[in-house]
Structure 1
Amino acid sequence: MAQDRISISSNWGNVTAELADNAAARAFAEMLPLTIEMDDHLRQEKTGDLPSALPTASRQREFSTGTLGLWSSSDFVIYYRDGRVPAPGIVILGRVQGDVSVFDRPGKVTVTVDKAH
């Protein structure tokens, strides 16, 4: 089965991503399109609230630049640096295929997430 691809657009730039093959990523794809207000957190990630919780999936503590993750059941994260999170870790939703450094700046950003065409 081909993986779903999404686009993440903002006034800072646009990237595409490939979603992971898990229940949380499939549920995320079903929510699209979404507009999400995102805040900068620890100068490593942008975080924003989803309209509803996603199903649980396996979690991991390590992440790399370009990882799309789920911190709590409804906290969407775009990581623009490598790092590690505390337990219980994050659910991997996917990976950005483009240059995620467009999000590597302080402050809030509004993103639109939709299925890639």
Structure 2
Amino acid sequence: MKITIGTATFTATLETTPAAQAFADRLPLTVSMTELNGNEKFFDFQTALPARATNPGTIRAGDLMLYGPRTLVLFYRSFPTTYAYTRLGRVDDPAGLAAAVGDGQVTVTFTAP
């Protein structure tokens, strides 16, 4: 999958799960993602995806997750967590991701390879 943020493009690998397949079925997708906690951007879908949340213990920069059944989260910083997420995939090389998403709201486009 490709993720485009402004002039930056990243590749990502999706998991082989029902949630990741449901996400892939929505591609191409352009969304406005909102800043949260200085480490993530999120977007709320109108309809749910098949969530199967677990606690990853540590979030890594580049993780693409689902919080609950409707909230898409793109993490751009690594940190420990006590929250549970459904893993959708991961940015293959997250170098430059934090700079690309910047502060505040950002438009992100997800496309199939």
Post-superposition Cα deviations, 1:64-97, rounded to whole Å, max 9, x if no partner, equal 111000012111111111123444x111110101
Q: Which amino acid aligns with 1:108?
A: Q
Q: State the Cα distance separating 1:102 from its structure 2 match.
A: 3.4
* Aligned-partner Cα distance in 2 for 1:103–1:72: 26
* Equivalent residue runs for 1:1-117 within 5 Å: 6-11=1-6, 13-61=8-56, 62-87=58-83, 89-98=84-93, 99=95, 100-103=97-100, 105-116=102-113
Q: Which amino acid aligns with 2:22?
A: A
SS of 1:21's equivalent?
A: coil
Q: Provide TM-score, normalisation by structure 2.
A: 0.86
The unaligned stretches of length 5 or more in structure 2 are none
Q: Which amino acid aligns with 2:61?
A: T
Aligned length: 110
* Aligned-partner Cα distance in 2 for 1:8–1:39: 16
**Following superposition, which runs of at least 4 residues in structure 1 exceed 4 angstroms of deviation?**
none
Q: Which amino acid aligns with 1:106?
A: D
Q: Give the share of equivalent positions with the same residue, in percent.
A: 32
The unaligned stretches of length 5 or more in structure 1 are 1-5
CA RMSD of aligned residues (A): 1.6
**8 Å Cα contact 2:53-2:68 kept in structure 1:** no
SS of 2:103's equivalent?
A: coil
